[in-house]
Structure formats: structure tokens, C-alpha cells
Amino acid sequence: MDDTTTRHGAIYWRDNCGDDLTPRPALAGDTTVDVAILGGGFSGLWTAYFLLRANPALQVAVFESQICGHGASGRNGGWCSPRYPMLIDELEKHFGADAARATIHAQTAIIDDIARICDEEGIDAHFTRGGLLGIARTPKQLKALHATYAGYARLGLADDTHLLDAAATAAHVRVTGVLGGMKTASGASIHPLRLVRGLARAIEARGGHIYEGTPVTRVRPGQPAMLETANGTVTARRGVVLAGEAYLSGLPGWHRQVLPMSSMIVATAPLDDATWAAIGWDGYESLSSQAYTKDYLTRTRDGRILFGSRGAPYLPGSRMPESALANPALYQPIIATLRSWFPVLHDVPVTHAWGGYLGVPRDGMPSVHFDPNTGLGTVFGYTGRGVATAALAGRALAGLIGDTPGYVPDLPMMRPPGPLWEVEPLRWIGVRYIQNAFARIDAADFRDGSTPVDARLAKSLAPI
């Protein structure tokens, strides 16, 4: 179908977020607070929320360069997932079985906490408990799915997870070429921007302040730590929180700490009843494939399908221009893949096509850390799995800063930021090679099941 009516660069979530998105006032002059937070996405807002929930007397302020939810928190695929940014086998390998189990238990529990807080704060985030459904469409994908299940089962984490054959998978959703699946009951889908904007209002109701249109230009560690903005300097008596995720790479001194990668999503027009009857998917599961270039799908409350996949090529110097996310050519392969999953969508218009930048740490592990000597707190590095993880991380960082031990879990994420990315142009060469190699690996798998000769090298170089 000709998708000339697709709004490239238009983010579906913004059209029905229940908020007119009018920016809050910017900072106007110097100010002093107890905790100053850079970033109005999930990490910064959850940190502020839990700080104020534990101690309403704290003076907490959030500083956002655009509007709350401008970045990945308001652009993602709507998954509230129990899956951690690091694969279960890697967690066990690097940190041990007990730490891996504790991480997944905490990741699963925070989803219940998000649901409860939405109820308590009156946030209509379209929280839907559909669970997860991994789809395998090639023999290698099926093998990978079984290996993932084996890792969870080995650690006693598969009580809510079941492997499915092709027929059982099709009973949940009818995807072409499906060979099997893995259903996990825990997990939900959400309207991410409704959650972001609702959190912002909850913070203000508890006495916090949010300044939008206030880019931070520099961080000054010390006692006290400070944030510099074009509109004034912020002094933080207890500490400064850096919660900019991918955008931290544009902050002086943090250029190599996190690498911005893009991911792209398309959204269909609402489907009619006959089309849904052909597809199934009555359980609203969050769907994914096992492709290296990532496929993730969400069924929205208004009857659309969101399909996310590979992003734009990484740009030298970690540049993140919005214009790179609006190129129609980037979305054509994604639309073609969506329609290969569901041929019944051939004549259904794709109404929205957008992208966003997510933060990738060099070792693939999130960091939650507070150094009282420098007054700096860090919370970032979710590699595209940040909706639930950011709530867990924000609560943990609030516990460190606010001295609330019950908030601080004994998990591998509780650590200083990890190793730095390579300098340019080595970083660009390496990342572009991995992007190209992963695309070739997927293409070869679907073509004839073969594996490129450099597949092992590419996987070893990738942070996850």
C-alpha cells in the first residue's frame, strides 16, 4: 500500500496523552534546592517522586531542556517489562545466580508498584496486564527462545513462563511463519507519555518543582554540587542527579559514558473488528521476535498496532539530530516487516512513524550511584528496556540520596558508571560495523538459515 499519508516524525503517544503539552515555565535566575535533577524522563521523575514520597519536606527540582517526556520516556514502545537490560545468562555469568534471581524478582515487583502508584496518584496510563509473548519465526530464533527459557528455569524464575509450540502460539496471535513462542504472564503495556505527564503532576502536587525549556550546560561537582543553565545556576545542598539517559552524551565530561542509539516505531490506523479477528491478539501481550535488529509490538487501547525495530545509523560524535529520525526511507523496511508478520495489514494505513534515542552503556549494565563527596548521583543505561527499570533505579537512587534504606536494593545496578566508550572515530567504526553485522545476521537467517562468518566477532563486540 502507498503510505504517503504517514506522518513521519509524528509521535503517536502525543496525540492522545491527555495533556496539551504546554511547556512549564523555565528557570528564571539562580536558585537553591536540596536535590536538583537533570532530566524530565522516567529516571528523573521517579527519583523526584520517591524522594518526596519519603520526605515531603525536601526541596526537589527537575530541570528539563524540552518538556517532560520529550525523550525516550515519551517515545518508546509502551512496554512495562519484567525483562532486565542485561540478558539473564549474562547476569548470572557476571554477578552470580543469587544476584540474577534478586534482579529479576525486583524487576517484576516494580511493575506491581507502578500499577499501584498509578491508582494512588490518579494516573490513567492505560496500564494493561498482557504479559510478554516472544515469537520465533526461524529455527535459530526458536533455539534462542528455548535457551532463554532454560536460563530462567535454571534459576527458578520460570514459574510464570511457558514455552509454546506453533499452534499454541497462534492461539494467542496469528503471525506468519511462526514456529513457536514463549509466554510470560508478568509484564504490562502502558501509554508511556501519560505515565510521564502524570508523574510530573504528582511530583508538583507533593511540592516538587519542574522547570521545562531549561537545558543544563554544565555540572559542577562539589559541596554543594551545582547545575549551570543558560537561565541561572542551581545549587543543590544534598546533591545533583544526572538522569539524562542518551542525552548525557551531550554534557561536557560525559560524552563517552553513554552512547545514543536510535530505535524506530510505526503505528497503524485503528483496525476494524474483522482485521482483529484475523490476527487474534486478544490478550494484549507485548510481542517480540528474537531478531538481532529487534522487533517489538504493542496493541494500543484504541486498536492500533505499534511495531518497533532497528534505528537510524549511528552518527559520528554521538550526534542526535531530530532530522535523522524523520527520514521516510528508514521506515519502509519496518513497515514491510510489519506486513510480513500480518499480511492482513497490507491495505491498512500507517499513520505515524517516529524514532527516539536510547542510552547504551559500554558494558550493557545500568548504573545507580551517589557519591556524597562530589554530590553527584547517576541513574542511566537501560539499553531500551527502561520503563520498569527506571522506576526501580529511581527509587534506589532516591534511597541513597534521601537516606531511605528500604528503597535501596542489593542489586548489581547499584554501582558507579561503567567503562567508557572508545574515542572517535573508533567508536563510530565499531558501532556501525555492529549495526551492519546484525542486519546481515538477520537477513541470512531468514534467507537460508546461514550465519555470516563474522557473526561471532560482531556479537563479542556488542555491549549486550
Query: What is the CB neighbour count within 10 angstroms for residue 250?
Result: 18
How much is the average pLDDT of 281-291?
97
How much is the average pLDDT of 413-436?
97
- 297 contacts 307 by C-beta, under 8 angstroms: yes
> CA–CA separation, 435 vs 191, rounded Å?
29
How much is the average pLDDT of 72-81?
97
By DSSP bridging, strand 232-242 and strand 305-309 are unpaired
By DSSP bridging, strand 31-38 and strand 60-63 are parallel
Kindly list the domain boundaries of the chain, sorted by start residue.
Answer: 422-464
Strands (E), 166-207: 180-184, 188-189
Of 250, 217, 230, residue with least CA distance to 27: 230
Give the 3-state secondary structure of residue 451: coil
Give the 3-state secondary structure of residue 337: helix
How much is the average pLDDT of 131-153?
97
Query: What pTM does this model have?
Result: 0.97
Q: pLDDT digits over 171-192, tens only?
A: 999 999 999 999 999 999 999 9
CA 235 to chain centre: 30
Q: Give residue 3's pLDDT band: very low, low, confident or very high (50, 70, 90).
A: confident
Q: pLDDT digits over 17-62, tens only?
A: 999 999 999 999 999 999 999 999 999 999 999 999 999 999 999 9
- 357 contacts 338 by C-beta, under 8 angstroms: no
How much is the average pLDDT of 181-206?
98
Q: What is the pLDDT of residue 116?
A: 98
β partners of residue 220: 226
Q: What is the pLDDT of residue 464?
A: 66
Give the 3-state secondary structure of residue 47: helix
> CA–CA separation, 317 vs 258, rounded Å?
12
Q: Which residues contact 20 (CB under 8 A, 6 or more apart)?
A: none
Integer CA distances (angstroms), 166 to 7, 133, 288, in order: 35, 13, 15
- What does residue 71 show for φ and ψ, rounded to 5 degrees? -90, -145
- 36 contacts 241 by C-beta, under 8 angstroms: yes
